[in-house]
Structure 1
């Protein structure tokens, strides 16, 4: 293959994912902009947003890369099989890592803001928000990653350039949406703002 052919193929595979990423990022920004009242109601939540969104991209991007590698090496088949222990274990590990990282981010945000003397919501509230958002995002991202990687691979695409932008976009859009849901759910359960 010539350099031109390699570049053309790379753009052919990556541009739709990057375009989707751009639109998704704007959508996530719109949702976040609509959360002004929720962000004011939970002191410290704004500090937590970047950490939670970065966690989604890092954990589930790694999960997608692991699946792509398994497909390239022939270790897993590009279809969901109920008894596939590798796929089940990788999905469970990604979900657990995502939730643990979310809880750690909430605890760290609380500790840093408390040490700085900055107003911050109670640790229980931040942990509750991180837990709910982490579980909802994790389930959604697990389904999206498996679907995108397997569908792309079956259609002849290299899943590696698809995973990064689509996981990041999905993580941002659903991460912000589920953060909003989590804030309101925890407020309902715990009472108050």
Structure 2
């Protein structure tokens, strides 16, 4: 009888474990996407300092580019960490890690400089700023990115290491959690840079000095890792992505500056905006990270038709994301009891999600087949396209259906 009871208990436990594995993507993604609620903090900061960011057209134009650039850089690191931990190229330690890890982390500073140069140039062009403002725009972008990296690189690394040590899947946990923290810190860094540029006495001098110091530091790191192939591979492959990402994100910046008057009438959209792009970007990033890991370990063939084999995972990701978008819609609805503000995020999400899933999977397959590292492309490109498409969808719906 006792043996029979033990057998029943084992069968029950086995069933519970199978059920847990069956819904693992939903439970882990629902948990990790909860950190995207922190995007509301970033949005609230932007709403509070609206006077500062509307001082110059280029100031509001660079905000989406700053977020997207941050997402792309953080995506490179998160993707390399997730895969590197799985295949033991990276150790779960911040101070006693492999040279591979330090080379990848160091390359991000040079990548941020490339992104800052493209970012400032495009903001200058699309907003029609004066030529005399270009050095200030460039230095502001560099400073904002540098301040962001001081926290996000070690924070993202530690989140990945802790998750891996505790038996959690970094593919489902790392990027969603780290991206939200990075968005909050990137927003704070962006506001600090603007504050120094416009309001702080001698702030512009500080901005220029910070830019020069960042460039010198990037040169020193390049010299230290001059014989490390992974440093140059990351720089070579990811730089193309960063350039593309920044150019695409310029569309977001232009779109927001184009509907400035309507944004002033819909402040709730600014408040939920970072959370919207975080949640959608993170849900697609989870799928992209899972796909690249499966490609590396051989459990997924590099065929686009195999996308249908991941329908269960996609359904769980869609459900967990939709729950949060309902929350964002409700938050947007509360201030003015405007039903349009409730429907806006939900409509945007359901229009963009399937498109980005297909693009993310296609990029993973194409880069893998060409012998490139998908982690240098999938999340960064997905982040930029998601941010841009969501911003374009939001602005298009506002222009079409909202009258000031």
- Aligned residues: CA RMSD: 2.3
* Number of residues of Structure 1 aligned to a counterpart in Structure 2: 187
Match for residue 33 of structure 1?
47
Maintained 8 Å contact 2:89/2:98: no
Q: Distance in 1 between matches of 2:26 and 2:38?
A: 19
Is 139-148 or 32-41 further displaced after alignment?
A: 32-41
Aligned equivalent of 1:180, options 187, 191, 200: 191
1:11 aligns with 2:26: yes
Alignment deviations for residues 9-64 of structure 1 (CA, whole Å, 9 cap, x no partner): 2223222210111x211111001111212112233111111011011111111211
Q: Distance in 1 between matches of 2:158 and 2:40?
A: 23
- Which structure's residues are more often helix, by fraction? 2
Match for residue 42 of structure 1?
56
Which SS does the other structure have where 1:137 is aligned? helix
Q: Distance in 2 between matches of 1:105 and 1:10?
A: 35
Aligned equivalent of 1:20, options 29, 35, 39: 35
Q: What is the Cα deviation at residue 96 of structure 1?
A: 2.3
1:154 aligns with 2:165: yes
CA pair 159-167 structure 1, distance change in 2 beyond 3 A: same
Q: Distance in 2 between matches of 1:161 and 1:82?
A: 25
| Structure with larger RCO (C-alpha < 8 A, sep 6+) | 1
Q: Distance in 1 between matches of 2:131 and 2:22?
A: 49
State TM-score, norm by structure 2: 0.43
State TM-score, norm by structure 1: 0.87
Maintained 8 Å contact 1:24/1:170: yes
Match for residue 103 of structure 1?
117
Aligned equivalent of 1:80, options 64, 85, 94: 94
Q: What is the Cα deviation at residue 138 of structure 1?
A: 1.3
Give the structure with higher Rg (CA): 2
Q: Distance in 2 between matches of 1:64 and 1:174?
A: 17
Is 154-163 or 97-106 further displaced after alignment?
A: 97-106
Q: What is the Cα deviation at residue 82 of structure 1?
A: 4.3
Q: Distance in 2 between matches of 1:49 and 1:71?
A: 32
Structure 2: tracts of 5 or more residues without a match? 1-14, 206-404
Structure 1: tracts of 5 or more residues without a match? none
Maintained 8 Å contact 1:71/1:77: yes
Match for residue 146 of structure 2?
135
